[in-house]
Structure 1
């Protein structure tokens, strides 16, 4: 039984459970947080994909009902496949990250950094204001030599064309 919710002009057919699996593991590809968690636990990447597929399958078969059931099943699968012991809960970390407001500008520090700290953070070339020429400037002799080489190429190409035309005339 799918629930339909109206979202930004189109119907979203994902259930609450499917949305929760998307949030915890990622949509099509595994998200970075889930990858890091599986690496901490020593789970290979293919097993991480298998965990994600297993969750989707159990949600589609309506074996998992509610966000809590999805969370508990994810933790069971992580502990079952994990080769290293970890002391934290991935689901709780994700819930804490969700509470933090993303895209917010951090508050302005109360004290401005000292002038020396600012100067240390600027790279030396930018701080000195110097400009560096990357290529040496070319002289007229360099330009004339380049033109001479281009003309030689054109002459050689013209010789080949003339030879080919002569061969064609002989055949006719």
Structure 2
């Protein structure tokens, strides 16, 4: 049985770049180089996670671009390199993820073409015993009695056979 991770590619990329619960040392060093306090590093991480969860950022490239925007926005010192280039994309790429279902048109025909079959027995309603006329009530009772008599005959035959076997 395999293990399935519910994390999307974007969520994995955010964790790869910034860290999970604790911030990665490389991200801390980058924030220190830019003059960003540690609490702002946590805020950047939370902001990225929030935007990914709200599906504002779709795609790994958008996550990288947004992280660089946030770093440059909060940073006090200019840095010549791009932080996201240091972190490999292959590590955050998901292996064996079930691909998203492609957008398909509705397979159902329009409502006008759908015919709903009638209910069981063509939608007939059956009268209760109080509503039945006297003749129909007698027929119903006779039918029930015939069924009981037939069942009793079968039981008597089985008892006779069993009695013969015991002798």
Question: TM-score scaled by structure 2?
Answer: 0.52
Contact 2:10 2:63 in 1 (8 A): yes
What is the aligned partner in structure 2 of residue 124 from structure 1?
none
CA distance in 1, matches of 2:52, 2:44: 12
Gapped regions of structure 1 (runs ≥ 5): 1-7, 99-172
Counterparts of 1:13-162 in structure 2, within 5 Å, are 13-95=6-88
- Point out which structure has higher relative CO (alpha carbons under 8 A, 6+ apart): 2
Gaps of 5+ in 2: 92-167
| 1:93 Cα deviation after fit | 1.7
Shift of 1:96: 8.7
Q: Which of 5, 8, 11 is matched with 1:12 structurally?
A: 5
Q: Secondary structure at the match of 1:48?
A: helix
1:9 CA drift (Å): 2.7
8 Å CA contact 2:13, 2:89 repeated in 1: no
Tell me which structure has the larger Cα radius of gyration. 2
Q: CA RMSD in A?
A: 1.8
Q: State the match for 1:120 in structure 2.
A: none
C-alpha distance 71-80 of structure 1, shift in aligned 2 (>3 A):
same
Q: 1:81 to 1:59 in 2, by over 3 A?
A: same
CA distance in 2 between partners of 1:37 and 1:18 (Å): 20
Please report the TM-score for the alignment, with normalisation by the length of structure 1: 0.50
Task: Give the drift of 1:46.
Answer: 0.1
How many residue pairs end up in the alignment?
Answer: 91
> Which secondary structure state, in structure 1, belongs to the residue aligned with residue 26 of structure 2?
helix
Please identify runs of 4+ aligned residues in structure 1 that moved more than 2 A: 95-98
Deviation at 1:11, TM superposition (A): 1.7
